Amino acid sequence: MGEDLGASNGRVTEAAVTVTSGSGDTLPYAVDREIDDIEALIDRAGGPAFLYGHSSGGPLAMRAAIRLGGKVTKIAMYEPPYNNDPGAQESWSRYLRQLRQALAEGRRGDAVALFMRFAGAPAGRVDGMRRAPSWPGLEAVAPTLAYDHAAILGEPWSVPAELAAHVRVPALVLAGRLQRRFISNGRTAAASRGTTP
Nearest residue to 77 via CA among 49, 100, 53, 102? 53
Same domain, 75 and 94: no
Q: Is residue 28 domain-resident?
A: yes
Q: Is residue 110 part of a domain?
A: yes
Question: Mean pLDDT over residues 40-53, rounded?
Answer: 93
Residue 67 in any domain: the answer is yes
Checking if the pLDDT of 167 tops 90, the result is yes
Return d(Cα 144, Cα 100) in angstroms, integer: 11
Please name the amino acid found at residue 106.
Answer: G
Rounded Cα distance, 173 and 68, in Å: 20
Q: Where residue 68 sits, what CATH number does that domain have?
A: 3.40.50.1820
What's the pLDDT tens digit per position in 147-161? Answer: 888 888 887 788 889
**What's the pTM value of the predicted model, to 2 decimals?**
0.77
Domain co-membership, 76 together with 142: no
The answer on 99 and 132 residing in a single domain is: yes
Could you give the CA distance from residue 111 to residue 152 in angstroms, rounded to a whole number? 17
> Which residue range is the domain that position 54 belongs to?
2-84+158-191
For residues 48 and 59, what is the distance between their CA atoms, to the nearest angstrom?
Answer: 19
Q: For position 197, what pLDDT does the model report?
A: 44
* pLDDT digits 0-9 by tens, 8-20: 455 666 655 443 4
Note whether residue 50 is domain-resident: yes
Is residue 196 situated within a structural domain? no
Total number of domains constituting the chain: 2
Phi–psi pair at 54, nearest 5 degrees? -105, 135
Inside any domain, residue 197: no
